[in-house]
């Protein structure tokens, strides 16, 4: 899940909420949406390995 920050950057969050905190885990901050989407695909790939 990608969200745009006020600073103009994009942050990738986990799809599931962390049960301990109730928030989504930060999986990285990127300058462009394309970079965030590319990293999201990489994360999904390694989750299936």
Domain ranges of the chain: 2-48
pLDDT at 31 over 80: yes
Residue among 19, 28, 32, 21 at smallest CA distance from 1: 28
pLDDT, tens digit, 9 for 90 and up, residues 40-49: 999 999 988 7
pLDDT at 9 over 80: yes
Query: What residues contact residue 24 under an 8 Å CB cut-off, 6+ apart?
Result: 1, 13, 14, 15, 16, 17, 18
Q: Tell me the β-bridge partners of 26.
A: 13
pLDDT, tens digit, 9 for 90 and up, residues 14-25: 999 999 999 999
Residue among 12, 47, 13 at smallest CA distance from 33: 12
């Amino acid at each position: 899940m990608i969200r745009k920050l006020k600073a103009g950057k994009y942050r990738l969050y986990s799809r599931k909420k962390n049960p301990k905190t109730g928030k989504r885990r930060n999986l990285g901050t990127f300058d462009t949406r394309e970079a965030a989407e590319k990293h999201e695909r990489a994360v999904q790939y390694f989750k299936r390995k």
